């Protein structure tokens, strides 16, 4: 383009409401497994999604450096560095490679 313009990244800043919340809630309500990686459990509406998933029967899994504020809503908790924990967890969840 001829004139420089600011470009907004496709992210949600703190204090903003995410777009497409109806679609997000529908997906969470219908999921069988809900995995959270790296969350403080303090920022809403994201922190509330685990409650919705659990209320709809999903298995809720946390991978985090420390227990978040909403830790009581997780069925499975893995504390430590995500980069170290996730490779073996994913392998366990998906089964060993053939």
Q: What is the pLDDT of residue 97?
A: 63
| Residue that is written with structure tokens 């679609």 in the block | 23
Q: Where are the domains of the chain?
A: 33-80
Q: pLDDT of the chain along its 98 residues, tens only? A: 678 888 888 888 888 888 999 999 999 999 999 999 999 999 889 999 999 999 999 999 999 999 999 999 999 999 999 999 999 999 998 986 64
On the CB side of 1, CA atoms within 13 Å amount to 5
pTM of structure: 0.82
pLDDT at 34: 98
Please state, in angstroms and as integers, the Cα–Cα distance from residue 54 to each residue in 41, 50, 61, following that order. 15, 6, 10
């Amino acid at each position: 383009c001829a004139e420089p313009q600011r470009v907004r990244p496709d992210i949600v800043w703190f204090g903003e409401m995410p777009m497409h919340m109806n679609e997000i809630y529908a997906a969470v309500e219908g999921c069988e497994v809900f995995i959270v990686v790296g969350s403080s459990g303090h920022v809403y509406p994201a922190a509330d999604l685990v409650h919705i998933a659990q209320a709809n029967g999903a298995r809720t899994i946390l991978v985090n450096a420390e227990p978040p504020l909403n830790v009581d809503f997780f069925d499975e908790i893995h504390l430590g560095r995500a980069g170290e924990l996730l490779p073996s967890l994913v392998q366990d969840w998906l089964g060993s490679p053939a």
